[in-house]
Structure 1
Amino acid sequence: MAQHGVSYNQFGQLRNSFNSSLSTMDQGGSFAALGRSQWTGVDGAPKSVWVSGHGMVKNLGLAIGGDFKHASLGVVRENEITAYAAKAVQLGENEYLSLSMGGGLLFYEGNYRQLDDQDPAFWEDVRGTAGVLSVSTSYYQKDRFYVGVSMPRFSLKRNTDREYEFRDVIYVTGGMLIRLDDTFKLRPSFLVSHMQEMSPRYDINAMMFVGPKIGLGMGVQNQGDLSGLMQLNFGNFGIGYSYQFSVNGHTLNQKISTNTHEVGFRYRIGGIGLL
């Protein structure tokens, strides 16, 4: 059984997590954390946490950062730790081309004996470690728009015999900030996520900001789900929440919800930007 990797609704606010080359947009450094919980009420339902951050080495013009990802589904757990370096080249007055490369380790385990210790098919638990690489690139104009392509996890060695598998993922992401007047600004953004051996997922959302502190929006994805988005900014801090639901969703057990909750946190030195 597989879920669609680490696709989240708050990709517009937490852009660096999906494309580390975009960390060069934050010259002072930043930190972000994002948690996702699906299928509330289901034992062993998918849960994931993603933490990322970076700092700048100004004399070299490098952004040095890292990511930690945890995902669980049933008796399967995966933890991933990676580090990266990113550098941007200025193409014009406010145009940049950025590249990021990195690598790390993936730790996975499947405690299958918990399913049925009387069935020989589940007598063997799975433990393993694999090396991973990451590469990403982006083009942007600060405070105006960005677009990028990333492969945040390219596995060097994977055990393909497991019942559950997080496959390699490719992201294509973009966003822009549209000034409507002195008070209102609109931030449309998109994320295309493609997991190995699965059909692509397309996410589009739009966030309307009232001043610099409050943002409300909606998102839609090609699998039919909708999401409501909220963002609150306080100086260097930003807090986001999203609620994802299916307009056609229903369940026989009313105690079980197929809806998804996300909570995000971001800290950015120099103040939280809207893009």
Structure 2
Amino acid sequence: MTGLLRYARSEDVILSQNKAHRFAAHYALVHYRSGAVYSFIPKNACSTLRYSMAVANNCIESPEDWTWIHKNNETFAATLPELVCAPFSFVVLRCPHARLASVFLDKIVDKTPELWQIYRLTRDGFDPDALTFRDFVTLLDKGDLLKENVHWRPQEDFLVYEYYSHVFALERFREAAPILQDEIGFTVQDARSLTGHGTDRVEMIHEGRFADTPISELAQMKRGGRLPSHAQLYDTALAGQVAALYAGDLTLYAAHLDAQLLSFPHLLPT
């Protein structure tokens, strides 16, 4: 059986009114054939796993239908009995430094609605073309925007259970497929070619520092098929700032996975 509900006792209210639990339960999806629960976290292979879940639950058939998942995030959300009785549960965690860099290079550089959400929340307080990764981190930190969007919201908020049957590292995600197939008959179907979210289509730059490069320049680089690697967006100060912002996620990752897979393992909270 699965573990204790992580946030059920965090508020002395009716469970249906417990905001932390309701949020996490909203992102807990059921694989109906096995009853297993998957907690999906944006930017952690979630498109691949949501697509795989939709296929497994007989709602879509082929890659031509893949955009269905974007309108159906709530379709497979677990009920309380499904959460409590699930025979198996799993989640994918990611280095928080790499996750935040991925959000920036994907959502912010491409000027998707996530950028314009920040723009509105700051009352048009910056030049979108001139925004840098350092500026972005500062907005999340000083502007109290850390929980305003699920793509950069701390991963710990998405965990509906205290303990999971299996916690996978995105950094070693290929290890998940055979385990999920053997344990619950769940087939992982790679959706990166459908979503275009992966960095496998661009040349990654592993030299230099890009923390202060405006997104107008980064967008031009991206159109040319090149992007800085996630680590190259950081200098010492910025890495420390993000480590403080996501201290809970760093601790969570190290508690379940190999801390040496983190971008900056020396910044783990002590």
TM-score for the superposition, normalised by structure 1: 0.20
Which one has a larger percent helix, Structure 1 or Structure 2?
Answer: 2
Higher relative contact order (CA 8 A, sep 6+): 2
Which one has a larger percent strand, Structure 1 or Structure 2?
Answer: 1
